[in-house]
Copies of this chain bind each other. A is one copy, B any other.
């Protein structure tokens, strides 16, 4: 007997579900490693194929192009973050406590959850930090949005906005704050590592507690004004 848990993602993102086959799983697993190593721009299906001892054409059977693969990986992370927020706030009453848990998940879901699968979530998180904005900063956003590529991200933002509304129903920008928290987390981790003068926080040895403090100060500073 074997238990297999599948991550349910938008079917339009792939040509053939990579979670169904051995090669498909290898594509996911090693694309994460390779994108982290060389960056998304230098990443190609040919290099990936070489790494997994397969061929370019085989990879193209699963994904139309590398952009869709990137969106797929990001959706994987976002879906997982959403689950993490839902799961960890389930029996919590206090909205403030809920928001703290959400912020903690936003900053780094991989630290707080262990997965049973072939995906190295720690490396995936690095990809999210470095490459996430590229998912929707393209000339094809509107078409891709119509195809539902960003449903996962939008519904994640909606969940966070809902918690924000619980903390303060009168706050006029719950959705904007939600997306800003999501974007800020990645930005400030990235700034701390590469352009430190653009932030006040430090990220030492992957310790992201200061990012969490920053986001909490932001969120509660805006939501709770006496």
Contact = CB atoms under 8 A, between A and B. Distances in A.
Interface of A: 38-39, 41-42, 130-131, 133-134, 136-139, 141-142, 145, 150, 153-154, 157-158, 172-176, 178-180, 183-184, 187-188, 190-191, 194-195, 197-201, 214, 217-218, 221-222, 225-226
Nearest to A38: B139
Nearest to A179: B198
B195 A176 contact: no
A157 B199 CA distance: 10
Contacts of A39: 138-139
A191 B133 CA distance: 12
What 9 A-B pairs are tightest by C-beta distance, nearest first? Answer: A39-B139, A179-B198, A133-B133, A141-B194, A173-B200, A176-B199, A221-B222, A176-B200, A175-B200
B154 A217 contact: no
A217 B139 contact: no
Contacts of A137: 130-131, 133-134, 190
A18 B225 CA distance: 51
B145 A194 contact: yes
Contact of A222 (B41, B136, B175, B218): B218
A164 B137 CA distance: 29
A171 to B, nearest CB: 9
A140 to B, nearest CB: 8
A140 B220 CA distance: 36
Contact of A226 (B142, B157, B183, B225): B225
